[in-house]
Structures are given as C-alpha cells and as structure tokens.
Amino acid sequence: MSQATTTRSFDHYFVPEPSKYPIFGSVALLLFGSGAAMWLNKVEAGPWMFFAGLAILIYMLFGWFGQVVRESESGLYGQRVDASFRWSMGWFIFSEVMFFAAFFGALFYARVLSVPWLASGDNEALLWQGFSSAWPSSGPYTPSRADPFTPMGAWGIPAINTLILLTSGVTLTFAHYGLLAGKRGRLTLGLAATILLGGVFIGLQAYEYVHAYAELNLRLDSGIYGSTFFLLTGFHGLHVTIGAIMLTVMLFRVLAGHFSAQHHFGFEAAAWYWHFVDVVWLILFVVVYWL
C-alpha cells in the first residue's frame, strides 16, 4: 500500500461552498407531499400546494444541476470526484432496481401465490365459488368484473416498443463511441436519435393507455392484473421520461460544447440510466406482456 500511496494522486477533493438549493428542495417536497395528501382528500388548497411544490422543485433542480455543470466545466472536479460520481450513480441505479423489485415481487406473488390460493381449498369452496385460477385475472370480485377486460397483447405496440428501446440503446452507444473518438457530429446525431426514439416510446405508451381504457376496459381498478400492469408500466414510463430529460440535457450540453473524450461522466451517467430503463423494459415485456 505504501507503494500505491506514492503513485496514486491525492489531489484536493472539491468541497462545495454553502448552498441555498437543498432548502428549496426541502420546502418543495414539503409542499408537494402535503399538497398531494390534501388533494387526495379533497382539500381545496391541495392542488395549489402540489403544483407550487413541483415548481419550486423544478427551480431547485435547474439551479443545482446548473451549478454542478458550471463547476464541472470550470475543472473543479478531479479524478476522485469523478470516481465518487461513478460509485454514487451505480448505487443510485441499484436503489431504483430495488424499487422495481417491490412491484415485480407483487406481480410474482399474485401470479404464483395469491390468485391460485383464492381458487383452491377453503377459499374456493366457501368464499369464491366457481373462481378458477388463471392469468390475467381481475380476482374473484371487482366492480368492473361485470364488464370483463381484455388483457394487453404482447405482439402489437409492446413488441414495437421493445424494438424501439433496443434500437435506442444502439444509437446511444453510437453516440458514446462518437464522443470517445472526438467525432461530435456522430455524438449529436446518436444522442438526438436516442431522444427521438425515447419520445416515440413514451408516445406509444400513452396511446396504449388510451387504448386500454377506451377499448379494452383495462383500468387501474381491473383487479390485480390492472394494478400490476399500470403500476409497473407506469413507473417504467416515468423512468423513461426522466431518462429522456437527462439525455435532452446532455444534448444541450453537447451543443454547448461540453464533454471531452476523457471527461464526460454526465453523459455516461445518463447513458447508464438509459440502459437501466432498457433492461427493466425487457423484464417487463417478458413477465407483464408476454408470458
């Protein structure tokens, strides 16, 4: 180790000045959370507080990330700060994986355990006579059961969306290689194509939701199938949206001349995140739509 200490660079680690932004974020989430709770309980001030919180949050994110970008571009971040960003983005994505794991776990539990249990033994004999286990299921009794829903098929829009997301992973890697080779045109083109594909994906998902409600009678309250379908695809769609926003910010930074072949972790972090939502979609496609 003593050998390593002489070779490893221990440059001065950047510690930021006091910042006003965190307290804005805290006030934002206070308004956001209390506003949402009030809105859900029909308190008139609720939506106002909710949107006020959202506005402050957006202001905070702009200001905070803007400051980070300026600090990064002025060369304040050394190699060790870069390593910190890498560790933190990796573990942040892991925490997101665990968030999705909760919902995939719920889907697994419903398909493998709770629905078969409801259709067997005492449950079937005494409580829900005639209910047979099958997937998709809206359960033995739901208000919308009188008007049954049609499950979402896998080989229409979802299959196209799979191709779109896989393609977007390729275009993003194309952009990354462009950046590494110093070919800014390829970088811009690949990044713009990725954002475009992400936008098309979100648009098709929105269309699919309209289709589900309008024609398939598939709704949030369509029992456990509707619950898991909409929360899994909904949270995934939200994450695609966040990823697309991140990539858009990166595109603006590219156009502003940011990033070099050696120093571009902001781009990489957005790319990691994009690949993460890509992988989540693949699992989603298999267990939610296909099987």
Partner 1 sequence: MAAVTHDQLQGHQHGQSGLMRWITTTNHKDIGTLYMFFSFFMFLSGGVMALTIRAELFQPGLQVVQPEFFNQLTTMHGLVMVFGAIMPAFVGFANWMIPLMIGASDMAFARMNNWSFWLLPPAAILLLGSFFVPGGAAAAGWTMYAPLSVQMGMGMDLAIFAIHIMGISSIMGAINIVVTVLNMRAPGMTMMKMPMFCWTWLITAYLLIAVMPVLAGAVTMILTDRHFGTSFFNAAGGGDPVMYQHIFWFFGHPEVYIMILPAFGIVSQIIPAFARKPLFGYASMVYAVAAIAILSFAVWAHHMFATGMPAAGQLFFMYATMLIAVPTGVKVFNWVATMWRGSLSFETPMLWAVGFIFVFTIGGFTGLICAIAPIDIQVQDTYYVVAHFHYVLVAGSLFALFAGAYYWLPKWTGHMPSEFLGKLHFWCSLVFFNITFFPMHFLGLAGMPRRIPDYALQFADFNALISIGAFGFGLSQLIFLVAVIKCIRGGERAAARSWEGAEGLEWTVPSPAPHHTFEEAPVLR
Pick the piece of the chain touching partner 1 (CB under 8 A) from 8-16, 151-159, 259-267, 281-289. Answer: 8-16
Does position 142 interact with partner 1 (CB under 8 A)? The reply is yes
- Residue 289 interacts with partner 1 (CB under 8 A)? no
Q: Does 40 bind partner 1 (CB under 8 A)?
A: yes
Q: Which stretch binds partner 1 (CB under 8 A): 152-160, 167-175, 222-230, 259-267?
A: 222-230
Least Cβ distance, residue 90 to partner 1 (angstroms): 9
Residue of 45, 48, 58, 117 that binds partner 1 (CB under 8 A): 117
Would you say 229 and 288 are in contact if contact means Cβ atoms under 8 Å apart? yes
Q: Which stretch binds partner 1 (CB under 8 A): 103-111, 185-193, 196-204, 275-283?
A: 103-111
The piece of 81-89, 157-165, 173-181, 199-207 that touches partner 1 (CB under 8 A) is 81-89
110 contacts partner 1 (rule: CB under 8 A): yes
Rule CB under 8 A: say whether 18 interacts with partner 1: yes
Provide the mask over 231-250, with x wherever binding to partner 1 is found by CB under 8 A and - wherever it is not. x-------------------
Is 30 a binder of partner 1 (CB under 8 A)?
yes
Q: Does 209 bind partner 1 (CB under 8 A)?
A: no
